Homo-oligomer: A and B are copies of this chain.
Amino acid sequence: KINSDRLWDSLMEMAKIGGTVKGGCCRLALTDLDKQGRELYIKWAEEAGCTVKVDAIGNIMCTRPGEDMSLPPVGTGSHLDTQPTGGKFDGVYGVLSGLEVVRSMNDQGIKTKHPIEISVWTNEEGSRFAPAMMGSGVVSGRFTLEEILDKKDVDGLRLGDELERIGFAGETPVTGRDFHAFFEAHIEQGPYLEAEEKQVGIVTGGQGQRWYNATFMGRESHAGTTPMHLRNDALIASSQLVLKVEEIAKAHPPGCGTVGFMQVTPNSRNTIPGSISMSIDLRHPIDGELTLMDKALTEAIAEIEATGVSVELDPFWYYEPIHFNTECVSAVRKASVDLGYSHMDIIAGAGHDACYVSDFAPTSMIFTPCLNGISHNEIESTTQEECEGGCSVLLNAMLTMAEV
């Protein structure tokens, strides 16, 4: 069992960094607030006896020694960065659960054969810099360090420069990481555990994702003098695609399709929009279905282009559905049963660092319910009891793998 109050207090303390008036958190990757959050985390980890290292993409590794330091660690971790309208739990719950596991082991004088290692992965959200899960993606080899350091935010700031600026371009190489097993605790961020009244989700895998940037090129022109039939309105074309993305997702249940980002140029109320830049996010747990969604998107764009606005589609990110390691999944299930928590198997709808860690290490995840299934919203909420449940399962699953 873990110390529930201490876990909750740490969550509330961390939430002050970037805390919003609506009770959420805005701590975008590689901002000053991210730096503050990281520094507080390192302070806590060191106080808990961990040695701390930072790698070249800014991942923080906090190690509690094991009896046999030649063995690969049993890992856990998640992220401290949030969405612009983020909550207090998404990601943070995972890294603070990891810390609580170490603190509880210390309290109880538990020694493990394998070292325990908590990772705070860089830019999991993919909001300020796309794509998501960058820190774990670089370590897994999905991305090269160079391509990621070169990513730019919407203001043109370079990720590598921002990492330097906040002092988290570390010296540890991103290569050569290994885990005996890796577990990530996370709030579900969706409605299923709550609907089924389960305390714990045994995450067996994650759905596949495809991310795109689409650029629409129409022609700027006067809103009052340009007859309707002579227009090349980029916003009309992009609006058609927004609705099409919804239609495509609905035609492939339980797939999701979302346009979350859109920029209008010149964004002047009496000028017909000349160009639009927007994001598209398609997801499905079955890869074949995701392929069909991708195909439908391409077809929809061809239809829109026939109206006279040209569209450039950049499919810059894709990963196929993830299947977690059966032994790790069993360890989570066993811990849930042993501790008497109601539970169900579940597929992750979001991307998680664990998805990329599972490329190179046996991995699974532990989900806990969140109120009304709402996340990426300042009102994201969960209870202390729910947090305690997931963290206790994490402790037990890790202990099983780390050999007490």
Stretch at the interface among A40-48, A67-75, A124-132, A176-184: A124-132
| B269-A221 in contact (CB<8A) | no
A190 within 8 A of partner (CB): yes
A360 within 8 A of partner (CB): no
- A219 to B393 Cα, complex, angstroms: 32
Q: Would you list 29 pairs from A and B whose C-beta atoms are within 8 A, ordered by A residue?
A: A84-B266, A84-B268, A125-B268, A126-B269, A127-B269, A189-B222, A189-B225, A190-B225, A207-B224, A220-B378, A221-B374, A222-B350, A223-B258, A224-B281, A224-B283, A225-B350, A226-B256, A226-B374, A227-B256, A228-B257, A230-B373, A235-B242, A239-B240, A243-B243, A259-B273, A260-B268, A261-B267, A263-B267, A274-B377
| A375-B221 in contact (CB<8A) | yes
Instruction: Determine the chain B residues whose CB is within 8 A of the CB of A377 once the complex forms.
Output: 219-221, 271, 274
Instruction: Determine the chain B residues whose CB is within 8 A of the CB of A209 once the complex forms.
Output: 224
On whether A228 and B250 interact (CB within 8 A), knowing A235-B262, A270-B260, the answer reads: yes
A236 within 8 A of partner (CB): yes
The smallest C-beta distance from A355 to any residue of chain B, in angstroms, reads 11
| A126-B270 in contact (CB<8A) | yes
A36 within 8 A of partner (CB): no
Instruction: Determine the chain B residues whose CB is within 8 A of the CB of A351 once the complex forms.
Output: 224
| A225-B127 in contact (CB<8A) | no
- A235 to B238 Cα, complex, angstroms: 11
Instruction: Determine the chain B residues whose CB is within 8 A of the CB of A223 once the complex forms.
Output: 256, 258, 260, 281, 283, 376
| B350-A224 in contact (CB<8A) | yes
| B236-A242 in contact (CB<8A) | yes
The smallest C-beta distance from A263 to any residue of chain B, in angstroms, reads 8
* Copies assembled: 2
In which size bucket is the chain A interface? 35 or more
On whether A281 and B262 interact (CB within 8 A), knowing A224-B209, A274-B377, the answer reads: no
On whether A85 and B258 interact (CB within 8 A), knowing A239-B243, A243-B239, the answer reads: no
The smallest C-beta distance from A294 to any residue of chain B, in angstroms, reads 16
A272 within 8 A of partner (CB): yes
A141 within 8 A of partner (CB): no
| A261-B256 in contact (CB<8A) | no
| B264-A269 in contact (CB<8A) | no
Candidates B85, B233, B246, B267; contact of A220 at CB < 8 Å: B85
On whether A281 and B270 interact (CB within 8 A), knowing A228-B249, A249-B228, the answer reads: yes
A83 within 8 A of partner (CB): yes
| A349-B225 in contact (CB<8A) | yes
| A259-B281 in contact (CB<8A) | no
Residue of B at shortest CB range from A349? B225
The smallest C-beta distance from A361 to any residue of chain B, in angstroms, reads 23
A254 within 8 A of partner (CB): yes
Within residues 262 to 300 of chain A, which ones have a CB less than 8 A from any CB in chain B? 262-274, 279, 281, 283
- A242 to B132 Cα, complex, angstroms: 30
Residue of B at shortest CB range from A352? B224
A315 within 8 A of partner (CB): no
Task: Supply 4 further A-B pairs (C-beta < 8 A) apart from A85-B271, A261-B264.
Answer: A219-B374, A225-B373, A235-B260, A263-B267
Instruction: Determine the chain B residues whose CB is within 8 A of the CB of A350 once the complex forms.
Output: 222, 224-225, 270
The smallest C-beta distance from A236 to any residue of chain B, in angstroms, reads 6
Instruction: Determine the chain B residues whose CB is within 8 A of the CB of A268 once the complex forms.
Output: 83-85, 125, 127, 260-261, 376
Residue of B at shortest CB range from A189? B225
A-B complex: 7 closest residue pairs judged by Cβ atoms? A190-B225, A225-B349, A269-B279, A239-B239, A223-B258, A84-B266, A239-B242
